[in-house]
């Protein structure tokens, strides 16, 4: 069964996947991924939004205001990006120097912060969790960097590991701030996949979504953990925006009370094997 929170990519060039407040029924966050052939142009204007542009692969030049910026990235699994912050009222034009893919997301803003390119050395890289819930969270436009509503993270979940754990929420319930969030997935190898769960016990939302390379999944409310099966290394790009402004963007989400205890025991009290008799070994059932 399809879900309105699971968007599949279209064939490029141009916009391959996108979500807007009008299309998905929320208030603040817009997001799109664009793929271009070499020499193609992508013009735009931020209007009443602040926007952040994250290169995903390829070489590109962005002209914005009176400035020009060179951005490039071999791929999301090889290096951190440079992130271009575009304030409201900024016309821009991107030129693909090679085949290129980039993400562009925005949220309503007043124009408190200037046009700026954030370099990898300005970004916090955090190893979060423990045991098989260890993952890397790169704060590519984290709350330590100036923006009004926008937050941007890149998360790496190794083969066989979990992220978004313990499950947490930021939907205005249980004392959390209301913040909308998108997950754009890349999988290595591209034939791999991840499992993304959205669940909200208060209103009956409970869906397991199979995320493949290039998929966009929305976290509309409730909790939203992710699992990478053995053999699939998982990257996702989070754009976030909501009622949190400026320094409030550092406000942490609220854990699912059934799982918050795992912060003190990341291994999760695993079952000891074998149970009962002897082991069948690698060739056994299961």
- 1 — pLDDT class (breaks 50, 70, 90): low
Which pLDDT does position 282 carry in this prediction?
Answer: 64
- Retrieve residue 151's tokens: 């937050």
Which pLDDT does position 116 carry in this prediction?
Answer: 98
On the CB side of 99, CA atoms within 13 Å amount to 3
DSSP string, 74-99: S-TTT-PPPEEEE-TT-EEEEEESSS
For the entire predicted model, the pTM comes to 0.95
Sketch out the chain's domains with CATH numbers: 6-264 (2.60.120.10)
238: Cβ–Cβ under 8 A, 6 or more apart, which residues? 151, 152, 153, 154, 155, 181, 182, 183
Q: Is the pLDDT of residue 277 over 80?
A: no
Which pLDDT does position 2 carry in this prediction?
Answer: 85
pLDDT in tens, 126-175: 999 999 999 999 999 999 999 999 999 999 999 999 999 999 999 999 99
Q: Is the pLDDT of residue 18 over 80?
A: yes
* Dihedral sign (CA 29, 228, 223, 151): negative
């Amino acid at each position: 069964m399809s879900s309105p929170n699971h968007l599949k990519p279209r064939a490029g060039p141009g916009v391959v996947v996108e979500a807007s407040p009008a299309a998905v029924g929320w208030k603040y966050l817009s997001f799109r991924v664009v793929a271009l052939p070499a020499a193609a142009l992508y013009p735009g204007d931020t209007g009443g939004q602040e926007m952040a542009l994250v290169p995903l692969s390829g070489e590109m030049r962005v002209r914005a205001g009176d400035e020009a910026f060179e951005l490039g990235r071999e791929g999301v699994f090889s290096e951190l990006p440079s992130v271009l912050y575009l304030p409201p009222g900024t016309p821009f034009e991107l030129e693909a120097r090679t085949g290129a893919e980039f993400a562009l997301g925005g949220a309503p803003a007043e124009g408190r912060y200037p046009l700026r390119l954030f370099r990898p050395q300005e970004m916090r890289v955090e190893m979060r969790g423990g045991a098989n819930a260890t993952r890397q969270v790169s704060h590519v436009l984290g709350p330590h960097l100036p923006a009004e509503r926008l937050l941007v993270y890149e998360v790496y979940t190794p083969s066989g590991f979990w992220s978004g754990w313990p499950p947490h929420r930021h939907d205005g319930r249980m004392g959390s701030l209301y913040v909308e969030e998108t997950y754009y997935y890349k999988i290595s190898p591209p034939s791999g996949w991840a499992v993304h769960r959205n669940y909200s016990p208060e209103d009956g939302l409970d869906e397991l979504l199979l995320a493949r390379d290039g998929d966009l999944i929305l976290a509309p409310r409730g909790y939203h953990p992710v699992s990478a099966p053995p053999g699939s290394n998982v990257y996702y790009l989070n754009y976030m925006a909501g009622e949190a402004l400026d320094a409030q963007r550092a406000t942490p989400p609220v854990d699912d009370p059934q799982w918050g205890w795992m912060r003190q025991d990341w291994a999760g009290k695993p079952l000891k094997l074998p149970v009962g008799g002897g082991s069948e070994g690698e060739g056994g059932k299961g």
